Amino acid sequence: MTAHDTAWRFHAHPEGRVLDVRLEGTVLKVTPHDGDRHGSTWALRAQPGTPRLEWLGACAGEPDEAHLLAAIEAAFQRHPAARQLALQSPLPTGTRLVDAGIVTPAEGALPTVAREAFWQWPRAWLPQPREPFAQRFIVTQGKRHPLRPAKPQGTVYRRHIPWLGKTLTLDTVDIERDLPAFHRWMNDPVVAHFWEEEGDLARHRQYLEGIAADPRVTGLVGRFDGEPFGYFEAYWAREDRIAPFYDAADHDRGWHALVGEARFRGKPFLTAWMPSVSHYLFLDDPRTQRLVIEPRADNEKMIRSLGRCGYAHVKEFDFPHKRALLGVLWRERFFGEALWIPRADPTAASPAPVRRHEPSLEDIHANP
């Protein structure tokens, strides 16, 4: 960008593609990142109440669906308070956007895109979205739960973070590639204080091999523009150790986190990765209605951050190895309140139990 270039720029990743978005004035252009000249041009008009996105292509044509998704995402990024978007564009042939409830036709008016619905469309952020796995029940160690699908491989989530100017990805763990960083992170004093998994390379290889062999848990590495910064574990709560402490539903998910690279700790990065982890888990299976997390009860920074990202602080309880706090995020709240961007700091500092807790956001170090 030159000194005289005032354009706003964004990267979208629909259907596993990388598309560049450039907005100057009201003109929004979507082009493939690989230099392909086949782009699309749109007008984004900030009219009162509902912004309007207009396709400026040929009258007899129609936009590419990936370009349409990129333009819609960019429009909502530019107008984060807008609950819906008016769409003045033909729809791509064969699109499922109407059937899925993403685009709502209106007789005598322009179709609309509801923000709450659009952010639930996996194809905008998941390179390889999966259909819901057929429900069959099994029993594992005395716990009855749905049979889980095979764990994914590779990049499972990709989202551009405008305030960082970086793209966040979540990748499944590749032990040979990721073991050196994982080993270093686990021996970092800040991480070790909460995870208590210090050790040599052999111990950490064994740890990751155990996660890889466990159908209940998926290990993930978070990256900003390809640079690894942290480790996450996503698990099915029904068959996890947390299940006896609340009424775990069949498709509830939970997660653990650590930020291993010190320079990626802090508010600007946390406001990117924490909501993105939640977003990914809700997108991975539309039947997931709740996310749970159980940080140590003395992990005050984590608990404050969770509150601001929509997690209700339900109760404290005792695991055999720690006293924990149960946090719960409802799907309806995450999408209804647009919590992929955490709330601003509130004026009240004291937490409200269970229903609505939005304390200030601080740095986060780890959550075993």
Q: Which residues are catalytic?
A: 294
Q: Is the dihedral of CA 68, 74, 77, 81 positive or negative?
A: negative
Contact between 211 and 219 (Cβ < 8 Å): yes
Contact between 179 and 205 (Cβ < 8 Å): yes
DSSP state of 91: P
- 228: helix, coil or strand? strand
Q: Could you give the C-alpha distances from 321 to 25, 141, 231, in angstroms and in order?
A: 57, 20, 21
| Cβ neighbours for 36, distance < 8 A, ≥ 6 positions apart | none
Cβ-based neighbour number of residue 123 at 10 Å = 20
CA distance 103 to 91: 9
Closest CA to 233 of 245, 242, 246, 244: 242
Token pair 């996105």: residue:
53
Contact between 178 and 211 (Cβ < 8 Å): no
Cβ-based neighbour number of residue 156 at 10 Å = 23
Contact between 44 and 28 (Cβ < 8 Å): yes
Q: What is the 3-state secondary structure (H, E, C) of 299-366?
A: CHHHHHHHHHCCCEEEEEEECCCCEEEEEEEEHHHHHHCCCCCCCCCCCCCCCCCCCCCCCCCCCCCE
Token pair 């800040």: residue:
190
